[in-house]
Amino acid sequence: MYPARFDYVAPTTVDEVLAVLAERGDDAKVLAGGQSLIPMMKLRFAFPDVLVDVNRVPGLDYIDDADGQLRVGALVRHNDVVASDVVGRVNHTMAAAAPWISDPIVRNVGTVGGSVAHADPLGDWASVMLACGADVVARGTSGERVIPMADFITGPFTTVLEPTELLTELRVPKYTGRGGGAYLKLERKVSDYATAAVATHLDLDGGGDIANAGIALTSVAPNNVKAVEAEQALIGQAPSEALFAEAAQLAARAADPRGDERGSAEYKREVVRIFTQRGLTKALALAQGS
Ligand SMILES: Cc1cc2nc3c(=O)[nH]c(=O)nc-3n(C[C@H](O)[C@H](O)[C@H](O)COP(=O)(O)OP(=O)(O)OC[C@H]3O[C@@H](n4cnc5c(N)ncnc54)[C@H](O)[C@@H]3O)c2cc1C
């Protein structure tokens, strides 16, 4: 299938990108890796009048942990994360998720920022960002705003990003104490979207109790789900198998899956329960070893 006709611009600065977005508004779409947008255009689910290709804007492809946060620029590809020593060192959840995104071709081209902006409930990165308590940085012609990931996605394929704004950066907190994380994904075949997946993150305090916990779920609701009750049940507690089992039950309750060709609702909910328990156990082992 062919997309509808569109204009194409390839600015070379963020200011130029923002000027086009300000002028064309709803008629324009940012093109990053094109791994979600182009298929949607071919299927005529999206028919922008103009594509604003941001791939020629230099300086948006950084992964930087110089201050207290891991800063991920808008043009960081999935495979940049796979290859990043920095990410492997300071964020196990991101490092664990990256190799699970589709296949090498998609990973070479698709971007983390594009995935978050796209807000596909089957997308893996939004869950990682929710579990880690990340912020989204958006720029428009009137300035920059920082949006907590928990407030960013408002529905399937819908975010608070204005059509005139560019997602420029994701800010992921670095571990505050001893930290660890995991991303467990069940897929029918290599490169498939998740049947169900769970992102986990734990920070331990000096005494070994849980200072901070993050759990988020992929493909089991109309949006990626932050399992807040499960997180709250963990914070301030001494880690134990029984505690993780309780949190896993709460996470499964937070899922709202639909039965489809990937499995029944009951099956997916059970995968969430088991993956939450396993993910927390893995996160704890990493945190205690770090
Ligand atoms: C065969 C296949 C399998 C896939 N499997 C998986 C998978 O297993 N897991 C998974 O998570 N994803 C999967 N994907 C999707 C892939 O991860 C995409 O790369 C990602 O969803 C979108 O990133 P992109 O850079 O390609 O964005 P694009 O396709 O360029 O854009 C997607 C949307 O986000 C907007 N956008 C992009 N960047 C910005 C920005 N900086 N500011 C504002 N808006 C922006 C665009 O305007 C568009 O609306 C798969 C894709 C394919 C084709």
Of the chain, the percentage scoring pLDDT greater than 90 comes to 93
CB atoms within 10 A of CB 100: 21
Q: Whose CA is nearest to atom 38 of ligand 1?
A: 114
Ligand 1 atom showing the smallest separation from residue 35 Cα:
26
* Whether pLDDT at 178 is above 80: yes
Atom of ligand 1 nearest to the CA of 123: 11
Atom index in ligand 1 nearest the CA of residue 110 equals 19
- Identify the pLDDT of residue 2: 86
Per-residue pLDDT at 68 exceeds 90: no
The H or E element that residue 276 is part of is: helix 265-289
**Is the Cβ–Cβ distance between 127 and 197 less than 8 Å?**
yes
Q: What is the pLDDT of residues 12-64, one digit of tens each?
A: 999 999 999 999 989 999 999 999 999 999 999 999 999 999 999 999 999 99
Phi, psi values for residue 164, rounded to 5°: -90, 0
Please identify, by atom number, the ligand 1 atom nearest to the C-alpha of residue 29.
47
Per-residue confidence band for 290, with pLDDT thresholds at 50, 70 and 90: low
Mean of the per-residue pLDDT values of the chain? 96
Gap from CA of 105 to ligand 1 centroid (Å): 13
- pTM score of the predicted model: 0.97
Atom 53 of ligand 1: nearest residue by CA position: 35
Count the alpha carbons within 13 Å of 79 in the hemisphere toward its beta carbon: 10
Query: Contact 230/247 with Cβ under 8 angstroms?
Result: yes
Atom of ligand 1 nearest to the CA of 193: 8
Quote the pLDDT of residue 67.
Answer: 82
Helix 241-254 and helix 265-289, axial crossing angle in degrees, nearest 10? 140
- Cα 246 to ligand 1 centroid, rounded to whole Å: 34
DSSP per residue, 101-164: SS-HHHHHH-BHHHHHHHT-TT-SHHHHHHHHT-EEEEEETTEEEEEEHHHHEEETTEES--TT
Question: Residue 140 — pLDDT band, cuts 50, 70, 90?
Answer: very high
> pLDDT band at 190, cuts 50/70/90?
confident
pLDDT > 70? residue 278 = yes
Which range, of 68-77, 128-137, 170-179, 236-245, averages the lowest pLDDT?
Answer: 170-179
Question: Of residues 274 and 3, which shows the higher confidence score?
Answer: 274
**Cβ neighbours for 211, distance < 8 A, ≥ 6 positions apart:** 176, 177, 203, 204, 205, 235, 236
Q: Which of 115, 191, 223 to mutate to test the pocket of ligand 1 (most atoms within 8 A of CB)?
A: 115
Atom of ligand 1 nearest to the CA of 168: 41
What is the number of other CB atoms lying within 10 angstroms of the CB of residue 91? 28
Sign of torsion, CA 159 92 133 236? positive
Q: What integer pLDDT is reported at residue 126 of this predicted model?
A: 98
Distance CA 61, CA 50 (A): 23
Nearest protein Cα to ligand 1, atom 20: 115
Q: Phi first, then psi: what are they for 145, rounded to 5°? A: -135, 155
Give pLDDT tens digits for 244-262: 999 999 999 999 999 999 9
Q: At residue 129, does pLDDT exceed 90?
A: yes
Q: Residue 50 Cα, ligand 1 centroid: separation in angstroms?
A: 18
Residue 283 CB burial class (10 angstroms; 0-12, 13-18, ≥19): buried
Q: Are strands 50-53 and 7-9 parallel, antiparallel or unpaired?
A: parallel
Cα(125) to centroid of ligand 1, in Å? 10
What's the mean pLDDT in 219-234? 98
Question: What pLDDT does residue 277 have?
Answer: 98
Residue 20, φ and ψ in degrees, nearest 5? -65, -45
- In a 13 Å sphere around the CA of 243, the CA atoms on its Cβ side amount to 16
| Rounded-to-integer distance, Cα 234 and Cα 236, Å | 6
The residue whose CA is least distant from atom 36 of ligand 1 is 114
Nearest CA to ligand 1 atom 21: 115
Q: What is the arrangement of strands in the sheet containing 196-204, beginning at the earlier edge strand? A: 178-186, 196-204, 210-218, 225-226
Q: How far, in Å, is the centroid of ligand 1 from the Cα of 159? A: 14
Q: How far is the CA of 211 from the centre of ligand 1 (A)?
A: 33
When pLDDT is averaged across residues 62-76 and rounded to a whole number, the result is: 94
pLDDT digits (tens, 9 = 90+) for 80-111: 999 999 999 899 999 999 999 999 999 999 99
**pLDDT surpasses 90 at 234:** yes
- The pLDDT confidence band at residue 1, using thresholds 50, 70 and 90, is confident
**Ligand 1 atom, smallest distance to 117 CA:** 34
Question: Whole-angstrom Cα distance, residue 182 to residue 97?
Answer: 8
Residues with CB under 6 A from ligand 1: 29-37, 39, 74, 101-102, 106, 110-111, 113-115, 117-118, 120, 123-125, 161, 166-167, 193
